Structure 1
Amino acid sequence: MLLTPQSTTPNRIQKYRTLAYVVTILVYLVIGAAIFDKLESTEESLRRNNLTARIDLFRQQHNISHQDFINLTRTVELRILYRKKQWKFIGSFYYVTVVLALIGYGHAIPNTFAGRAVTIAYALIGIPMWLIMIQSVGERLNSLIRFVLKYIKRKFQKRREPQVTAMELLTCEALLTVLTVAAGSYVFHRHENWRYFDAFYYCLLTLTTIGFGDLVPMQKDDYENFGWLYILFCIMFILTGLTIVASSGNLLILRFVETNTKRCQHERYEMEERRRQQVHIIGDVISSNGRLVTLEDDEDTPSFRTSNGAQHITLDNSSSALSLCSCRAQPSLTACIPMSCKKKFKRKQQNILNNSKQSFVKSQITNTRTLRQEILDSLQTKNDIDENIALQRSYLPVEKIQKRSSI
């Protein structure tokens, strides 16, 4: 009979894990939708009602029709859109930077067919190059941080070959991210006259490449009116911040992959260990409740052997109770020992081994005592025989003397 522990295959575990990820994301999306519905819907209704009242008041004061008001609104929107020279070199440079960085503020949009076609081709070619560059620079940044940490440990801990852990690298990357966001928030707060929280909000949305476009720097005036240092800072903020975030994400992904690989290796090792622990048994099997499970020659299913007779059971019901076996020449039976019964099997096996050792020691002590008693008895018998012989030899000369004197 072949007894194997019940186990779930790694593929099934991976399927369950993937399903759990999908369900978790869906639940998280539902929770987020409910939160923003609660926070923003009421404010949106108030703003819409206020805007409608102001539009009606404006139309009544100036006595214009609805279509004229729409045309006026469209004209004002275009005036706001084209109030600055967006497509000069510096503005175009900022535009292509935003395109390759996958941010997409929407502050500048090409209106010509050629401009939109070139944007598509430019993005398809440039985005892979951008990602490769960010990945490479992030790796060099991680190497630099690792070198600095090793130098510090070697300097203060007096170690020749100090080791830098992934958690230490992640901590340094997190500190760099916080410093970058804090510095950028302060600069945008000063130059754009935003609230500090709004500047912080913009920095986070930019570095996470969300880019709603509700807050965009350098939109109040022409680019030529801004200082070159500030323009360079805006571009370098995107490059540096995305590099730091990409290196941090790279470390997190490597950490996750390493953990997942170790988990898969552990599961594979457990499977191999369970296969090596398979036991081939022929004969009766003792269940965990003490009853004897046997398989007769003409039976396909095992049965409980009790004082009243044999009670048939199915394999599914009996497999959870099988824990120990005794071998006989009977047809083989295939069953499974669950993990909960595996410890019971080991404990019973250990108890049997301990009892057999104790019985063997007791029998050896008893045999030794018996042998010792036999040896003592044999020695005592030999001593008695020797004394009798010596006594007979002492009587022999007296008899000879008496015979001689009589003669």
Structure 2
Amino acid sequence: MKRQNVRTLVLLVSTFLYLLAGAAVFDVLESQYEESEKVRLDNITKTIKEHYNMTTNDLEDLRLTMIKYVPHKAGVQWKFTGSFYFCMTVITTIGYGHSAPLTPGGKIFCILYALVGIPLNLVMFQSVGERLNIFMGFCVKNFKRCVRFKKAEVSHTELVMLGGLCTMLITGGGALAFVKFEGWHLLDSVYFVAITLTTVGLGDFVALQQNNMLQSNPEYAAFAIIYILAALVVVASVMNLLVLRLLTLNTEDERREAQAQEMTSRSSGLDLNHIDGHLPYHHAHAGGALLGKKTDPRSMCTSCCNDCKHPHRTHHDPYGIGANAIHLQHMGPTIYHATYSDDETFENFMTCERSSKRKSI
């Protein structure tokens, strides 16, 4: 099985197992609290109905009214600042759910706006993330030169670590800012930043939804919008590096497979040249198979030894080296024994043939 297929299968199984593990953990952490909270709210509802002598329908109307009043309590949502904030949550796929269009025209426009804005936003984040990675690599390279590192090259792992460090700094700084302006606990602020930057956007915590901040505090509104966009760019750059690493692994696997196929095809071609070694003349010259004829090596030696000093096979294998043993004979008392590949032997044979033909001509 190909490595790409194995990696894809491992990712699918890992994702499914990750979902199972997450479901089990949330079941343990949240289910018991949910049951106790439901009992508490049922008791409060019963008390309100008995105290104010309300019917079930009246209580349901009151509940729906309070739910719809939540975004209005935060202030005006659909002036320019609030609309800009909503558009940002749409194209970044955060989607807090704190406000939503209610008119038919607003719903239709929101659909079209999301269809165009989401791909545009993804391409923009990817492009800006690539530029940011290049800038970080440039900074790291110059830093290494300043401190006189032996190697100034920047590795992919170093860029990922640097991007992760920047993400942690941005998350911590944003959390502290929201603690100050929103009055949240530190854990709630970190939770909001993490849910926002991962574009999950559960909507249980939403910035700019207290004391009419969208209109009364435009500086903080501008900070919140710019912070979210800038932090998303940093996260996108890190994600881009991780995705690039995965694509690089797939490309390397494809290159290895191509090289293996090429080597296989070459080896199969060389096997055709070695067929002559398994024929009755088991020590026949490598050129015999390619020239389509079986030649007795002793007669070959007689015909070509007088014209060249190139190595050729002997019918006798005195050293037991195998079919590739070459007996080098020179016109003198010295005798050499060596091992050559069949390709080299065939080239030597062709050289002998050409020289003998030239002499005969």
Q: TM-score, normalised by structure 1?
A: 0.64
Which residue number in structure 2 is paired with residue 71 of structure 1? Answer: 61
Calculate percent identity across the aligned residue pairs: 35
Mapping for residues 100-115 of structure 1, pairs under 5 Å: 100-115=91-106
What is the DSSP-based 3-state SS (H/G/I as helix, E as strand, rest coil) of the residue aligned with 2:95? coil
Which residue number in structure 1 is paired with residue 188 of structure 2? Answer: 198
Mapping for residues 6-405 of structure 1, pairs under 5 Å: 10=2, 13-83=3-73, 84-157=75-148, 162-224=152-214, 226-278=216-268, 279=271, 327-329=278-280, 356=321
Aligned-residue offset at 1:354 = 7.7
Contact residue 140 and residue 154 of structure 2 kept, 8 A: yes
Return the alpha-carbon distance in structure 2 between the equivalents of residues 104 and 268 of structure 1. Answer: 45
Contact residue 142 and residue 169 of structure 1 kept, 8 A: yes
Q: Structure 1, residues 42-72: CA drift from partner, whole Å, max 9, x if none?
A: 1111111111111111211222111111112
Aligned-residue offset at 1:329 = 4.7
Return the alpha-carbon distance in structure 1 between the equivalents of residues 180 and 319 of structure 2. Answer: 81
Q: Structure 1, residues 155-195: CA drift from partner, whole Å, max 9, x if none?
A: 22177x93222122112111110111000111111211111
Return the alpha-carbon distance in structure 2 between the equivalents of residues 60 and 120 of structure 1. Answer: 45
Specify whether residues 93 and 225 from structure 1 end up closer, same or farther in structure 2 by C-alpha distance, changes over 3 A only: closer
Specify whether residues 140 and 15 from structure 1 end up closer, same or farther in structure 2 by C-alpha distance, changes over 3 A only: closer
Question: In terms of mean alpha carbon deviation, does 39-48 or 149-158 score higher?
Answer: 149-158
Return the alpha-carbon distance in structure 2 between the equivalents of residues 353 and 264 of structure 1. Answer: 46
Specify whether residues 356 and 130 from structure 1 end up closer, same or farther in structure 2 by C-alpha distance, changes over 3 A only: closer
Specify whether residues 57 and 151 from structure 1 end up closer, same or farther in structure 2 by C-alpha distance, changes over 3 A only: same
Contact residue 90 and residue 223 of structure 1 kept, 8 A: no
Aligned-residue offset at 1:78 = 2.6
Contact residue 91 and residue 223 of structure 1 kept, 8 A: no
Return the alpha-carbon distance in structure 1 between the equivalents of residues 115 and 215 of structure 2. Answer: 33
Aligned-residue offset at 1:230 = 1.4
What is the DSSP-based 3-state SS (H/G/I as helix, E as strand, rest coil) of the residue aligned with 2:153? coil
Q: Give the gaps of 5 or more residues in structure 1.
A: 1-7, 284-325, 331-351, 361-367, 369-407
Contact residue 98 and residue 206 of structure 2 kept, 8 A: yes
Return the alpha-carbon distance in structure 2 between the equivalents of residues 127 and 104 of structure 1. Answer: 12
Aligned-residue offset at 1:104 = 0.3
Q: Give the gaps of 5 or more residues in structure 2.
A: 282-316, 326-332, 334-361
Contact residue 85 and residue 223 of structure 1 kept, 8 A: no
Aligned-residue offset at 1:202 = 0.8
Contact residue 195 and residue 201 of structure 2 kept, 8 A: yes
Aligned-residue offset at 1:153 = 1.8
Aligned-residue offset at 1:114 = 0.6
Contact residue 181 and residue 200 of structure 1 kept, 8 A: yes
What is the DSSP-based 3-state SS (H/G/I as helix, E as strand, rest coil) of the residue aligned with 2:278? strand
Specify whether residues 43 and 95 from structure 1 end up closer, same or farther in structure 2 by C-alpha distance, changes over 3 A only: same
Specify whether residues 74 and 33 from structure 1 end up closer, same or farther in structure 2 by C-alpha distance, changes over 3 A only: same
Contact residue 218 and residue 226 of structure 1 kept, 8 A: no
Which residue number in structure 1 is paired with residue 311 of structure 2? Answer: none
Specify whether residues 273 and 200 from structure 1 end up closer, same or farther in structure 2 by C-alpha distance, changes over 3 A only: same
Return the alpha-carbon distance in structure 2 between the equivalents of residues 197 and 224 of structure 1. Answer: 24
Say what the alpha-carbon RMSD is for the aligned residues.
2.8
Aligned-residue offset at 1:30 = 2.0
Contact residue 4 and residue 253 of structure 2 kept, 8 A: no
Aligned-residue offset at 1:77 = 2.2
Specify whether residues 158 and 203 from structure 1 end up closer, same or farther in structure 2 by C-alpha distance, changes over 3 A only: closer
Q: Structure 1, residues 253-305: CA drift from partner, whole Å, max 9, x if none?
A: 1121112211221233223323433445779xxxxxxxxxxxxxxxxxxxxxx
- Give the strand-richer structure, 1 or 2: 1
Q: Which amino acid aligns with 2:259?
A: Y
